[in-house]
Structure 1
Amino acid sequence: PVWRRPSQRVCGLEIIPLAELQRPRIDVTARISGLFRDAVPNAIRWVDQAVRMVRDLDESDEENYVRKHVLSDTAWLKEQGETQESAWERASVRIFGDPPGVYGAGVADLLESKAWETLDDLAAVYTRFSGTAYGGDGMARAYDPEVFQRRMAGLDVTVKNEDTRETHMFSSDDYNAYHGGMIATVRALTGKAPRSYTGDSSDRQRIVLRSVAEEAARLFRGEAMNPKFIEGMKKHGYKGASDLANYLAHSYQWDATSAVMKDWMYEGYARKYVLDAGMQEWMQEVNPWALHRMAETLLEAQQRGLWNASQETLDELRSLYLSIEGDLEERAEG
């Protein structure tokens, strides 16, 4: 990017020579959100322009992966009867997102509804919500699932950056819907997981990159199991219990898309959030629905083969789940 000083706004783009870059030009596909689409179309323009500038360079396949893939995808599309011009344009798209007027990635709602069986189901929904191609004018071109899935199948690495410590991957199901959905789609299409990372640029003088699994374990140890965090949440009564249930639900959802949870982590949630006598008593008082949801989430993780739980823990969870369900039915009946 060429920066206009002192405003620090981007006013143009320039090509970095390969001698200075000292590596091949990497091919990147961007999945933008509906909010990004609506709020910063100028950024879409710059990314699209950058792709086209690099695509048109007279460089070898070993030096320029963008050009290499555009050429190969153009040939693939022409084999299907596409014209040269149309194939060239479709093969050059690197920005995908929601259809116009639509927000989200669909994966969170699907996981919450339990109406899925395999990664293929998650990939199908992610593709439907993400497969709309966007051009340099910031406007949607067309829903192009074939090209989108070809881009996903070619991914070796996925990354989502966070520039604040106020939220993180367990704070909301959006993080998993967008990034986890992409990981699940790659896994479904290729049969293997991409290398997946989360960036932390909250301190721009000390940018940190961790794998998604490392970040999940860090948050689990440092926050989810932290007594100070739990006690702080308990001060918020009904809402605190609800947020703890969400924390567990988001952890499970990340596991469903990206296989980030270990048995000991599920066991930790079970013992500290659900089966602990003090937590049970507090939740029964302020929000029994949250306790019911947590027990249900843990049982679903076990049923789907994500958690190899001990028989003792399973028996305790099932007994608690049935007990709470009976109490909630009585409440509903007045």
Structure 2
Amino acid sequence: EIGRAYLDATSHAYGGAEGEAVSVPGAFADRVAEADLLVHTGDDPGRDILEGSADVAFIGGFSAALAALGKNADVIVLDTTDPQKPKPRSVGEAVSRVVRARAVNPRFIAGQMRHGPRGASEFAETVDRLLGFAETTLAVSGTLIEAVHDAYLGDPEVRAFILRENPAAAKFIAERFLSARRRGLWYPLRNSVDDDLAALIAEAQGVAA
């Protein structure tokens, strides 16, 4: 369970001459349970919350921990790229903005397709972070998941690129989307999506064999 795992991993106290960590079960859970608001700032204009694992680990872990404790708190992503005009957004708004501006942007997709296996890995990482937010915050709409699925796997050219250049990434992407389906995070408009994802997994395994 994600929330409990987050609390177990973060419930430590540090001290002593060497600054050693000592497990303090329940200590951080008490602090999380008292929270009314989490503000996560971002000041790098060249990076967004679907790049790297730190944002989803922090925001998602905290949100899942709150849910595990039966608590609620507002979670705000604060854009401070312009310190004079900070822009607060909900997690859903922040993720949606990145999906629309970058993840499904044809220019981004075309750019990654010029980078072979690494480009395919970038698609896989984007899917992983998007679904990580969906699983932990429940703030990502099925419409966004559908948009990314259609951009990467619904487009025959992009799907073929990922499968050809990085079968492991193709398999990972398909498995993550299937997991989202099974968790009820996404209800595709097309009934054939589950079969298509299973077929891609089989194809990727065949290419890698």
Length-normalised TM-score, structure 1: 0.58
**What is the deviation of 1:147?**
2.6
Residue matched to 2:143: 264
Question: Equivalent residues in 2 for 1:57-206 (5 A)?
Answer: 121-134=1-14, 139=19, 142-190=22-70, 192-206=71-85
Q: Which residue type is aligned with residue 9 of structure 2?
A: F
Determine if contact 1:132/1:140 at 8 Å carries over to the other structure: no
In 2, Cα distance between equivalents of 1:291 and 1:146: 40
Structure 2 residue 152 is the aligned partner of structure 1 residue 273: yes
In 2, Cα distance between equivalents of 1:147 and 1:188: 15
**Taking structure 1 as reference, are residues 138 and 258 closer, same or farther at Cα in structure 2, changes over 3 Å only?**
farther
Structure 2 residue 93 is the aligned partner of structure 1 residue 222: no
Unmatched tracts of structure 2, length 5 or more? none
In 1, Cα distance between equivalents of 2:60 and 2:144: 18
**Taking structure 1 as reference, are residues 285 and 326 closer, same or farther at Cα in structure 2, changes over 3 Å only?**
closer
Q: Which residue type is aligned with residue 322 of structure 1?
A: A
Greater relative contact order structure (CA < 8 Å, 6+ sep): 2
Determine if contact 1:199/1:209 at 8 Å carries over to the other structure: yes
Structure 2 residue 90 is the aligned partner of structure 1 residue 247: no
Residue matched to 2:168: 289
In 2, Cα distance between equivalents of 1:263 and 1:200: 24
In 2, Cα distance between equivalents of 1:194 and 1:326: 46
Identity %: 28
Structure 2 residue 188 is the aligned partner of structure 1 residue 303: no
Determine if contact 1:158/1:183 at 8 Å carries over to the other structure: no
Determine if contact 1:159/1:179 at 8 Å carries over to the other structure: no
Q: Once superposed, what is the RMSD of the aligned Cα atoms?
A: 2.0
**Taking structure 1 as reference, are residues 243 and 150 closer, same or farther at Cα in structure 2, changes over 3 Å only?**
same
Question: Equivalent residues in 2 for 1:50-61 (5 A)?
Answer: none
- Correspondent of 2:194 among 314, 325, 334: 314
Determine if contact 1:275/1:317 at 8 Å carries over to the other structure: no
In 2, Cα distance between equivalents of 1:169 and 1:228: 19
Determine if contact 2:4/2:68 at 8 Å carries over to the other structure: no
Q: Which residue type is aligned with residue 280 of structure 1?
A: R
Tell me the matched-pair count. Answer: 207
Determine if contact 1:275/1:316 at 8 Å carries over to the other structure: no
**What is the deviation of 1:134?**
4.8
Q: Which residue type is aligned with residue 230 of structure 1?
A: I
**What is the deviation of 1:141?**
7.2
1:158 match: secondary structure: strand
Unmatched tracts of structure 1, length 5 or more? 1-120, 330-334
Length-normalised TM-score, structure 2: 0.90
Q: Which residue type is aligned with residue 317 of structure 1?
A: L
In 1, Cα distance between equivalents of 2:139 and 2:150: 19
Determine if contact 1:187/1:194 at 8 Å carries over to the other structure: no
In 1, Cα distance between equivalents of 2:94 and 2:25: 31
**What is the deviation of 1:142?**
4.1
More displaced stretch, 244-253 vs 279-288? 279-288
Q: Which residue type is aligned with residue 229 of structure 1?
A: F
More displaced stretch, 148-157 vs 215-224? 148-157
